[in-house]
Structure 1
């Protein structure tokens, strides 16, 4: 797709510069990254459309991640005309005929399978299984996006696994089958956020990297915001329809969009597939004419990155001191953010509010969060903003654990403030991680950090269950964890405005040059 004149005007590209006679001659020697930066440095319509096509997958990701909030909820019940029953009674100590569900017994898995008196481990098993699947999938698929499948194929394969598993989940016969399918869905989902963010970031120049990376968070928040609406429309029906309504559109979109999405040209160069990479650069280019031809012709075989054994590169990632330090620091940091980010969303039922309203309020906070990230990420230093956001989120969450249930207005206010800061920190952290590691290990490194985020979320169903009796066990734990984890960001380098590197050696040389 050629970039239109209007797109060039939008990006502020000078047409005179594009047709400069000097660019028809031999160009000064540029590195591969510098050449790609020249070609993709602006932002045209082709890049924008491609970004939308990829970012929409985050919409479906959000719905499958948090669908358990509604499908696994404890339904409301009422007393039948029986003198031994009152609303404050323990439902497990009442005879079956003394009470009834307010709505259909098929509304959630709790009422359909008679799990109202089951342990918190059993009722929380499906949600925990999903995140355990995330952990398994992340470690299993981590290297495939860097070496075998690439960003595009792994992204769509992951989404299809997630959605097909979700579709089959609607036909579950018991809690064990249901939990197993949720684990499989989580396994597929493990690479979606990572591949989406990397594919978006690698197809634009450094000027637009932060803003375009934010698009996946915007779509994720829209997916979460729409989930309560879908659940409300399904209010009188079985939980199975909720899975059908969210999985079928996602499967259809994945199949159609696959044929229109381009692979990352940076990754193609690392694989030695220069012809394909140049063809995609031509389609995505923010310049045209003689300038584009000159830059493309200046890319020669010597600029390509030699193909290395994936396990050697992964070993190198842990062998080099600077890389190991970055991996450990970002994983610790990710654990703290993951515990709070997902914990506050799943813990909304402990606030005493309507579950639909509670999820909508939290999801609504993601809209301003993503807008703030979109407009200010280019100006913010990564380290300082992350540290400040996590400190504020931790303090607000701790206050939620201390404030009594009677002050519901104050409680929801601090909870939303904590979630806002944690969500904003999550956005900045993911962009920060992409910038910290070179192309040939970027997917693997980012996946490991995502695994730390998921590992934090595995504990959330347990903490949320404990929070029904004592809020500090959930909100207090969330706050203390993110507060303490925030200090490790101090040892990481600042990356704002820096070029992306393609190899470990190149990253090391650039870091030493900056120092």
Structure 2
């Protein structure tokens, strides 16, 4: 029986049909770019201080009632306390001056009982100013980011399996709808609790949409076009969305209007339903040969080529004579070798995710202009994805992934050597790390689709992406380690990257091999030798160990 690429070779690799699929899927990924980082602006904390009620105070006392602190060698007004109002009022009524008659350091302080005044130099409003997520409530800010990624994690776990059962196309559009609709509803949040609940539901569709689009395109396209799409195409769509975010946020400084600007235009993606087909590979895997042939015949008309009388020769007979092999998530851990490889792959993707989001969210802290730093951080991804595409075409997968992890680790360790005050050098090093980890991320996405059989492709990528999202969930708290030691987050991320590079040595290679369609295709591959386990296992060992890459 001929392979899928051989059956559809008459279509060519990049005719009009493939171009439509390629570009529409890439465009559908754009919302993931700004959706993942919207909280950089929605949840930023402007400078603030205690509100002073409109009471009978002299101008001198009104200006002096907020204590002055020295933070990192700089003086600034306290954000969470003020001198006691009753004491200050009495001193003001008695005619005492804060400049001459009173030692302010002896006065008792109190919390901001009347709320806060927030600077509007950068933002008109954020969820922090809307729901007062400061001082004793500041724990809610990193928790908000974490809860979003918890939604992403849950969505990744279930969407991958649903995609293998229900199809790539339905899950693609359902998850896109989740992002669009619930981002819009968030505008009407009346409390932080309501906002976070809606944020979790929004997160359910975030990476799930990306993975569904990635797998769908990788299964429809063939040859070098598939490599181009899986690396440069999908990732560039994400990067474009990433760069659009700070541009929109620069002109729209109110959090509610920003959500509207980012969500409402996404309604234009839903007519894509009539132009993007279901994956013929998946349909064949489900023994729905006639539907797969109908899609390819329509593609032949679009490409203006003649389709043969029987396109998938041998598939019809196989569908009627061979029992359908059941697959489940348990196929990833059927034996010790497969389980070992699954753990390694999950750890590598976990490290990639923690490093990627850690650098992305930290970049805005290294430059005075949040909008510019976010835009540059997104723009760096474009050459990174070009590099991942070139690496996929010409370099071993393992060698490429190891190289990006080592470069990211070196950057993390070198950050500690930058002298105080050299913010430009720190920012440059951060962008080198962003380039390295983004290149690795692009490689991992494409690598994953090459390693899994069609029946398990989305399930396996979903599981690995689920574990990866644990890395993104801990990122906000990982960055909080700066309060204990400035460079502690870099040391942690660098160490994780070194261990991941060593673990990658044990992963299988897929460079130059065809995309597997079945478990039988995987079983033909050579055994991957694991130094920790006996080598007398069945060839099935090799099979799914490949699979766990996301």
Q: TM-score, normalised by structure 1?
A: 0.86
**Map of 1:509 onto structure 2:** 524
| Residues 69 and 346, structure 1, Cα contact 8 Å, conserved in 2 | yes
For the residues of structure 1 that align with 2:513 and 2:115, how far apart are their CA atoms?
Answer: 67
| Residues 33 and 500, structure 1, Cα contact 8 Å, conserved in 2 | no
Q: CA deviation at 1:468?
A: 5.3
**Map of 1:489 onto structure 2:** 504
| Residues 331 and 449, structure 1, Cα contact 8 Å, conserved in 2 | yes
Q: 2:17 aligns with which of 37, 40, 46?
A: 46
For the residues of structure 2 that align with 1:118 and 1:260, how far apart are their CA atoms?
Answer: 51
**Map of 1:91 onto structure 2:** 79
**Map of 2:44 onto structure 1:** 73
**Map of 2:265 onto structure 1:** 249
CA 1:140/1:42 → structure 2, altered by over 3 Å: closer, same or farther?
closer
For the residues of structure 2 that align with 1:58 and 1:44, how far apart are their CA atoms?
Answer: 22
**Map of 1:137 onto structure 2:** 155
Which string of whole-angstrom CA distances, capped at 9 and with x for unpartnered residues, describes residues 296-340 of structure 1?
163541344967576x43222320455434322211100000000
For the residues of structure 2 that align with 1:509 and 1:451, how far apart are their CA atoms?
Answer: 28
Q: CA deviation at 1:435?
A: 0.6
Which string of whole-angstrom CA distances, capped at 9 and with x for unpartnered residues, describes residues 78-117 of structure 1?
8996134455132102366898433188511111222221
Which string of whole-angstrom CA distances, capped at 9 and with x for unpartnered residues, describes residues 416-470 of structure 1?
0001000000000111111111000000111111112211011111122332563
**Map of 1:194 onto structure 2:** 211
Q: 2:172 aligns with which of 155, 159, 166?
A: 155
Q: CA deviation at 1:120?
A: 4.4
**Map of 1:57 onto structure 2:** 28
For the residues of structure 2 that align with 1:308 and 1:319, how far apart are their CA atoms?
Answer: 19
For the residues of structure 2 that align with 1:49 and 1:491, how far apart are their CA atoms?
Answer: 38
Q: CA deviation at 1:401?
A: 4.3
| Residues 180 and 264, structure 2, Cα contact 8 Å, conserved in 1 | yes
| Residues 49 and 79, structure 2, Cα contact 8 Å, conserved in 1 | no
For the residues of structure 1 that align with 2:382 and 2:142, how far apart are their CA atoms?
Answer: 28
**Map of 1:169 onto structure 2:** 186
Q: 1:458 aligns with which of 469, 473, 476?
A: 473
Number of aligned pairs? Answer: 480
RMSD: 2.7
The farther-off stretch of 79-88 and 119-128 is: 79-88
| Residue 115 (str. 1) matches residue 133 (str. 2) | yes
**Map of 1:478 onto structure 2:** 493
Q: 1:227 aligns with which of 239, 245, 255?
A: 245
- SS at 1:31's partner residue? coil
Q: 1:499 aligns with which of 503, 506, 514?
A: 514
CA 1:374/1:58 → structure 2, altered by over 3 Å: closer, same or farther?
same
Q: CA deviation at 1:55?
A: 1.4
More helix by share: 1
Note the residue ranges of structure 1 that are not aligned, 5 or more in a row. Answer: 1-29
For the residues of structure 1 that align with 2:324 and 2:310, how far apart are their CA atoms?
Answer: 26
| Residue 419 (str. 1) matches residue 437 (str. 2) | no
For the residues of structure 2 that align with 1:112 and 1:98, how far apart are their CA atoms?
Answer: 11
For the residues of structure 2 that align with 1:98 and 1:141, how far apart are their CA atoms?
Answer: 42
> Which structure has the bigger radius of gyration?
2
**Map of 1:209 onto structure 2:** 226
Q: CA deviation at 1:223?
A: 0.2
| Residues 32 and 303, structure 1, Cα contact 8 Å, conserved in 2 | no
Q: CA deviation at 1:42?
A: 2.1
Q: CA deviation at 1:509?
A: 2.0
Q: TM-score, normalised by structure 2?
A: 0.81
For the residues of structure 1 that align with 2:382 and 2:341, how far apart are their CA atoms?
Answer: 30
Q: What is the correspondence of 1:300-319 to structure 2 with a 5 Å cutoff?
A: 300-304=315-319, 308=324, 312-319=327-334
For the residues of structure 2 that align with 1:511 and 1:31, how far apart are their CA atoms?
Answer: 21
For the residues of structure 1 that align with 2:485 and 2:19, how far apart are their CA atoms?
Answer: 47
- SS at 1:88's partner residue? strand
CA 1:389/1:190 → structure 2, altered by over 3 Å: closer, same or farther?
closer
For the residues of structure 1 that align with 2:8 and 2:335, how far apart are their CA atoms?
Answer: 27
For the residues of structure 2 that align with 1:284 and 1:494, how far apart are their CA atoms?
Answer: 32
Q: CA deviation at 1:253?
A: 2.5
For the residues of structure 1 that align with 2:135 and 2:119, how far apart are their CA atoms?
Answer: 17
**Map of 2:546 onto structure 1:** none
**Map of 1:334 onto structure 2:** 349
Q: CA deviation at 1:283?
A: 3.4
| Residues 206 and 497, structure 1, Cα contact 8 Å, conserved in 2 | no
- SS at 2:456's partner residue? helix
**Map of 2:458 onto structure 1:** 443
| Residues 125 and 179, structure 1, Cα contact 8 Å, conserved in 2 | no
